[in-house]
Chains A and B, each alone.
Chain A
Amino acid sequence: MAGLGRYIVIRASLIVPTILILYTFVFILLRVLPGDPILAVVGTRYIPPAQLEEMRRMAGLDKPILVQYFDYLLGVMLRGDFGKTLASPIGKPVSEYLWERLPATVELTIASLIVASLIGFITGVGGALRRGSRLDTSMRIYSILTYTLFIPVLGMGLQYFLGLKLKLFYVSGRLSAGIYVPRLTGLLLLDSLLAGDLNAFTDALRHIVLPSLTLGIVLSGAYTRLIRNNLVEVLNSDFIRAYRARGIPGHRVAMYAIKNAFIPVVTYMGLQIAMLLGGAVLTETTFSWPGLGRFIYERIEYRDYSSIQGAVILFAFIVGLMNLIVDIVYALIDPRVKY
């Protein structure tokens, strides 16, 4: 395992430039674009120039740009400091909001990934085993359709039928009023189980079903296609033909094939993190899910530039980190990866 340790260190150090480039990109972008963030917050209200200066100082915008760049970066890296909010309530650390909101997004994305991979697995394997059949074609159409399903539309459709008409699930929020779950991890499903509160668990579950189903369905099409194409390729390979020639039963051959077809899927999960987080913004907005995406939406209305910057940069870190995790998982399951 010493080799693996070294591999992780090397991969981790390769993530640093990715995060730095993303940070630099966001940083420059938010500064070269026309529009003064402070004036954007203020809007049409009259604010005395002295107070404007004060706000500018609070946002760190009065310093030279290079100082701003390193101040912010070091603040984030060393102290987890993402600056202060520029809109009401003014002057609160952005990081407080970010940590409060992060678990909701994590919970939603995990649940959605589970939904997406389950649907993707069933449809993809189905299509590959019956290649060229009508089932295969309909799975292909399904994967194109999911690609164009606009998250809020699908979400509202589910809200209307499963929430409003059938009253099976809640249409917004994470937990009903009056139910309290002590915060350990911030993941409500986990926390309520740890607290042994089954009532809260069911309530949290009935809240998360619709948003995770929405995001999961939209993401599943890519898995359908990927699993189908990989499996078709593996089923045509020599070792599968050899198994068949030896008279191994079809379903067992399929098991071997599926196992091998899954390796590229893990890589893809890493690539999909970006799509997942982008989708989370829309899903959270549609379902009033109090996560990071919803936070960005709320701060857009206030034009709170420093909160938006903080959330976007946190997303950049998450993307970098997730890519690292995927690399490690990949190394663990695929013996061909040298470390």
Chain B
Amino acid sequence: MMTLFLSTPISAFIRSFPQPAKSMLILGLVIVISIVVMAILAPYIAPHDPASRVYIELQPPSRNYLMGTNHVGMDVFSRVVWGSRVVLFVVAVSAAISMAFGVPLGLISGYYGGLVDRVLSIIMDSIYAFPSLILAIAVAAVLGPSPLNAAISIAVIYVPTYYRMVRGETLKVKQMPFIEALIVLGCSDATILKSIFRNITQTVLVVFSLSVADAILTEAALSFLGLSVTWPTPDWGLDLRSGQPHLLNGYWWIAMCPGLMIIALSLGFALIGEALSDYFSIAAKV
């Protein structure tokens, strides 16, 4: 298995990273892949039903209840395992939506320029300047609490991030001789845009990793504020919130276990993003 992996192009790519980017990339990948696997295999990993009382409440971590039990006697470990599904779902949907809008708009804006570019830029810059979390809260509050609505509100705030990076890169790539060649050859705009896009995929990849790292925190924030799933669905942000009063009485595990998972997942993506931006020498700002 290991030797098989070592011969793939992916492993060759990882090995070509200089230190310390390589360690960061590997650590990041390990964190992210383990959490994704945990989410997929949740029914097999979680020892108990995450949303029903299984033991005496407020018990500290033990052999049978790895992360203890919460204030209503649910198994915290099982909730942490199942909770990974919500955050990954919301973040995946929101990243897909913001890329679907941000990338094409950035390409069009950067390639055609003119009035469209100016209007789009002003709008995107204004959204970008605004506190993103507050914007997401406003959208989510109007849409009503649900994971899909949380995903939509998170998507809104990362469109400008993709847009700005893609637009900037498009402006650079547009100047290159091979694009001029395509124009001279009489290629259609669609072909040229496709060709530009292929040359900026690295940037999109870096922006993706870093903005997902940030989106995880935004998702956690929305569910912490009660704007995503509703109790007793297991969710890291929500469990953090409901565990806080008990933490202040000394029962730290209810809030801290899901809380540290939020940080771990976000850190995983941030490490990957940092390593990639080092490797491609892209100074991305998210």
Which one of A21, A150, A171 lies within 8 Å of B262 (CB-CB)?
A150
Contacts of B224 in A (CB 8 A): 152, 282, 285
Asked, given contacts A160-B252, A164-B250, A286-B244, whether A153 binds B126 with beta carbons under 8 Å apart, the answer is no
Interface 0/1 of B38-73, CB less than 8 Å to A: 000000000000000000000000000000000000
B256 and A157 contacting across the interface, CB-CB below 8 Å: yes
List which B248-278 residues lie within 8 A (CB) of chain A: 248, 250, 252, 255-256, 259-260, 262-263, 266-267, 270-271, 274
Give B236's nearest chain A residue, CB to CB. Answer: A150
Total number of B residues with any Cβ neighbor in A under 8 Å: 46
Q: Is A35 an interface residue (CB 8 A)?
A: yes
Size bin of chain A's contact surface: 35 or more
A153 and B130 contacting across the interface, CB-CB below 8 Å: no
Q: Is B108 an interface residue (CB 8 A)?
A: no
Q: Is A316 an interface residue (CB 8 A)?
A: yes
Q: Is A72 an interface residue (CB 8 A)?
A: no
Contacts of B133 in A (CB 8 A): 278-279, 281-282
Cα(A303)–Cα(B138), bound, Å: 11
List which A136-169 residues lie within 8 A (CB) of chain B: 137, 144-145, 147-153, 156-157, 159-160, 163-164
Cα(A316)–Cα(B263), bound, Å: 29
Interface 0/1 of B213-250, CB less than 8 Å to A: 10001001100111100000000000011001001101
- Interface pick from B93-101, B141-149, B173-181: B141-149
B213 and A147 contacting across the interface, CB-CB below 8 Å: yes
Give A285's nearest chain B residue, CB to CB. Answer: B225
Contacts of B137 in A (CB 8 A): 281, 296, 300, 308, 312
Contacts of B262 in A (CB 8 A): 150, 153
Which one of B20, B126, B225, B259 lies within 8 Å of A22 (CB-CB)?
B126
Give B133's nearest chain A residue, CB to CB. Answer: A278
Which one of B134, B156, B225, B259 lies within 8 Å of A153 (CB-CB)?
B259
Which one of A137, A171, A286 lies within 8 Å of B20 (CB-CB)?
A137
B226 and A144 contacting across the interface, CB-CB below 8 Å: no
Contacts of B144 in A (CB 8 A): 35, 40
- Interface pick from A24-32, A194-202, A244-252, A257-265: A24-32
Instruction: Return A313 CB to nearest CB of chain B, in Å.
Output: 10
A305 and B250 contacting across the interface, CB-CB below 8 Å: no
Asked, given contacts A274-B129, A274-B131, A282-B224, whether A150 binds B217 with beta carbons under 8 Å apart, the answer is yes
Asked, given contacts A18-B129, A153-B256, A300-B227, whether A144 binds B248 with beta carbons under 8 Å apart, the answer is no
Q: Is A297 an interface residue (CB 8 A)?
A: yes
Cα(A145)–Cα(B137), bound, Å: 24
A171 and B248 contacting across the interface, CB-CB below 8 Å: yes
Instruction: Return B126 CB to nearest CB of chain A, in Å.
Output: 4
A160 and B247 contacting across the interface, CB-CB below 8 Å: yes
Q: Is B122 an interface residue (CB 8 A)?
A: yes
A148 and B267 contacting across the interface, CB-CB below 8 Å: yes
Contacts of B156 in A (CB 8 A): 29
B248 and A164 contacting across the interface, CB-CB below 8 Å: yes
Instruction: Return A267 CB to nearest CB of chain B, in Å.
Output: 13
Which one of B127, B213, B244 lies within 8 Å of A156 (CB-CB)?
B244
Question: Max chain A CB contacts within 10 Å: which of B127, B142, B260?
Answer: B142
Asked, given contacts A148-B217, A148-B267, whether A153 binds B129 with beta carbons under 8 Å apart, the answer is no
Instruction: Return A24 CB to nearest CB of chain B, in Å.
Output: 9
Cα(A319)–Cα(B132), bound, Å: 12
Contacts of B127 in A (CB 8 A): 25
Interface 0/1 of A213-233, CB less than 8 Å to B: 000000000000000000000
Instruction: Return A237 CB to nearest CB of chain B, in Å.
Output: 19
Q: Is B36 an interface residue (CB 8 A)?
A: no
B139 and A29 contacting across the interface, CB-CB below 8 Å: yes
Cα(A21)–Cα(B220), bound, Å: 28
Instruction: Return A312 CB to nearest CB of chain B, in Å.
Output: 5
Q: Is B123 an interface residue (CB 8 A)?
A: yes
List which B139-184 residues lie within 8 A (CB) of chain A: 139, 141-144, 156
Instruction: Return A127 CB to nearest CB of chain B, in Å.
Output: 14
A315 and B247 contacting across the interface, CB-CB below 8 Å: no
Instruction: Return B248 CB to nearest CB of chain A, in Å.
Output: 6
Pairs A–B under 8 Å by Cβ, sample size 25 = A22-B129, A22-B130, A30-B138, A30-B142, A33-B139, A35-B142, A137-B20, A144-B270, A147-B213, A148-B217, A148-B270, A150-B262, A153-B263, A160-B247, A278-B131, A281-B137, A282-B133, A285-B224, A297-B225, A300-B226, A301-B226, A312-B137, A315-B131, A316-B130, A319-B129
Q: Hey, which bits of chain B sit against chain A, CB under 8 A?
A: 20, 122-123, 126-127, 129-135, 137-139, 141-144, 156, 213, 217, 220-221, 224-227, 240-241, 244, 247-248, 250, 252, 255-256, 259-260, 262-263, 266-267, 270-271, 274
Q: Hey, which bits of chain A sit against chain B, CB under 8 A?
A: 17-18, 21-22, 25-26, 29-30, 33-35, 37, 40, 137, 144-145, 147-153, 156-157, 159-160, 163-164, 171, 271, 273-279, 281-282, 285-286, 296-297, 300-301, 303, 305, 308-309, 312, 315-316, 319, 323
